[in-house]
Structure 1
């Protein structure tokens, strides 16, 4: 599992990059994103049930969103005092939180012209300029608080907020795709 990204990376890749595996590939299984050890592994139904029994009240519901017919994990997120639904996107490795433009401007108290950082990334077959700004916020997910130090957006962003890998890099996240539940350890 890679949680770093260099958008200016040049050179030949040893193999063609065709895309990523999505939730449809995983079916209705349990899986673990072990960020500290940089590994992904799968759980049998029995292992998942034992984990849930050993940690009652730790698992929280998620839902599948449907942004342009793409199956995505949606978390309930409290950002400071605002409740919202956010898409969990493991492909957004370098980003803590991506907000729609109006929410980003309101939350960061700045505009795209005044943003502290601008990053060009390849996405959807083109380069997109993403703007970053310090925000010093707190996100509450699955009963755990995560500091959010930088928020991102771009002018054409029209989805729900997106939370990437960065807030979880010191955690283990467990998903139960059969019963639509997750836990953060």
Structure 2
């Protein structure tokens, strides 16, 4: 077993976390904050857009069961990487698209993956995803962890997350954990 970490920001962390936690080979996906200047930021601070942090998900995975490239494929399927500092109605730098690489191999793979997406014109506009060195990750407050699964009837969950999550489950059903 080879346990590694990957860190992604693609808008609301509730959407990204819910999907990654259902993948075979993912040990854990946790919501949090990364990419900014404040130590131990709170959700309220993040929401101002002034901390430099993004809502992000840190994925702990077994690379013998799922590859970093597969994680990137899923990450790019979960959000619109051509939207600068936003995802739909969520607006601000805290909702930016970003990959925080943990080593030079992840950086190389991420850059090559983005180049291929651009070459294949997967998105209708240029990809704006940042590829940035990972520094720190601060866990979001407990009530943000597993939010979608605990609050499926909440309006944001039914209107925004559920449709994305259902498309994810259909597209990647072969990679889902057995339940």
| TM, length-normalised to structure 2 | 0.27
Larger Rg: 1
